[in-house]
Amino acid sequence: MSWAAHELESYFIQGHTKARISYIAVLLGCLLPDLFTKLPVYGLHIGNLTFIKASFPAKYHRGWPGVGLTHSLLFGLLVALILLAVTKNRAWFLGLLIGACAHVLTDTFDSVGTMLFFPFTTQHYSTDMWAYASQAGRYGDAAAYYSSLGGLWDFFWLCLALSGFKVFNRDFFFTEVVTADPAWGWMRRKFRMSDRAMLAAYRSFFIYGACRIFAWFLWARFLNPHRGKQYLDWSWGGPGWVQKVSFPAADWGVWLGNTARGIVGCTIAVWLIWRFIGRRLWARAG
């Protein structure tokens, strides 16, 4: 999983998408796959007791059976269509769809990866760049992530977000972001938000995402009590000191068969959904 990339990718998308999209929807889309599913990955800790913790966090989070379906391309499309039906707003539909797909694709870089073409195949797609280690608990996972290429991956996303620096400008916010999304006007009226508060709310996830990288890195490398054993390892698939979880295919033949079935199934499903539902909702929306 990516610890800060999901907060930062929303700004990169906002800065590099030509279509009119809602920033809030992009952010929601980027957070959507983990929004209601993350708690059991690490469990809820009260004192020495742990509640609602998944017995096999990787399987629960990314696999099937589990909530791994939230990390599939079709899930993003279905939620975006529900949003299009409810809000009748194309900017929200596009924003959520792009954001959710970005999250799913970003998560393919760890060792567990995501079931991109679920439900047509439960094949996990992964580049194995760093070790998925949520079974080590929140702090064990943080130490593993920021001792591996995962930390560099977050930094790469920080650079990408900064590459479209205009998105953080006051003028860009009030002329592009606010005008593309009626939710900002609603928030201003409902909560009596000043221009400063709205701008701070817009920029807040970038500041939070960027600071999160440095704060967790500082903790993992300088404050972590196990930092001696949990050394920095920027090898592919590292760090070597953590037990890595992955769900690889039995062989390349199986992988190719699953992928072909997934691509064909997803293409047909998307075409049918768009033909009979999406097109009408899109035409009805403004």
Partner 1 sequence: MNERRAEFISYGVACVILVVGGAIFRTPILNWINGPAIVIATVCLLTPWLMKRGRGKDPE
Our CB check for partner 1 shows the closer of 204 and 267 to be 204
d(CA 109, CA 28): 21
| Amino acid letter, 135 | Q
Our CB check for partner 1 shows the closer of 24 and 281 to be 24
Kindly state the smallest distance separating residue 142's Cβ from partner 1, in Å.
8
Kindly state the smallest distance separating residue 243's Cβ from partner 1, in Å.
22
Collapse the DSSP code of 45 into the 3-class scheme (helix H, G, I; strand E, B; otherwise coil) and give the result: strand
Q: How far is CA 73 from CA 88, 96, 120, 127, 161, in A?
A: 21, 12, 11, 17, 23
212 is a site residue for partner 1 (CB under 8 A): yes
Interface residue with partner 1 among 194, 235, 243, 267 (CB under 8 A) is 194
19 is a site residue for partner 1 (CB under 8 A): no
CA distance from start to end of the chain: 35
| Amino acid letter, 55 | S
Q: In this structure, what is the dihedral angle of CA atoms 207, 213, 214, 216, given to the nearest 10 degrees?
A: 120
Name the burial class of residue 259, with classes exposed (0-12), middle (13-18) and buried (19+) by CB atoms within 10 angstroms of its CB. middle
Kindly state the smallest distance separating residue 152's Cβ from partner 1, in Å.
18
User: Whose CA is closest to 152, among 243, 227, 217?
Assistant: 217
Question: Which among 91-99, 197-205, 242-250, 251-259 is the span making contact with partner 1, rule CB under 8 A?
Answer: 197-205
Sign of dihedral through CA atoms 230, 154, 196, 94? negative
Question: Which among 57-65, 135-143, 241-249, 272-280 is the span making contact with partner 1, rule CB under 8 A?
Answer: 135-143
252 is a site residue for partner 1 (CB under 8 A): no
Our CB check for partner 1 shows the closer of 86 and 197 to be 197
d(CA 107, CA 130): 11
Kindly state the smallest distance separating residue 138's Cβ from partner 1, in Å.
7
Interface residue with partner 1 among 218, 264, 268, 272 (CB under 8 A) is 218
Region 219-248 residues binding partner 1, contact defined as CB under 8 A: 219, 222-223
64 is a site residue for partner 1 (CB under 8 A): no
Q: How far is CA 162 from CA 109, 182, 210, 270, in A?
A: 21, 26, 10, 33
Kindly state the smallest distance separating residue 211's Cβ from partner 1, in Å.
4
Question: Which among 12-20, 171-179, 205-213, 273-281 is the span making contact with partner 1, rule CB under 8 A?
Answer: 205-213
Question: Under 8 Å CB-to-CB from 245, ≥6 apart: which residues?
Answer: 58, 111, 112, 131, 132, 133, 134, 135
Interface residue with partner 1 among 16, 20, 138, 279 (CB under 8 A) is 138
Our CB check for partner 1 shows the closer of 194 and 243 to be 194
Site residues for partner 1 per CB under 8 A: 7, 31, 138-139, 142, 194, 196-197, 200-201, 203-205, 207-208, 210-212, 214-216, 218-219, 222-223
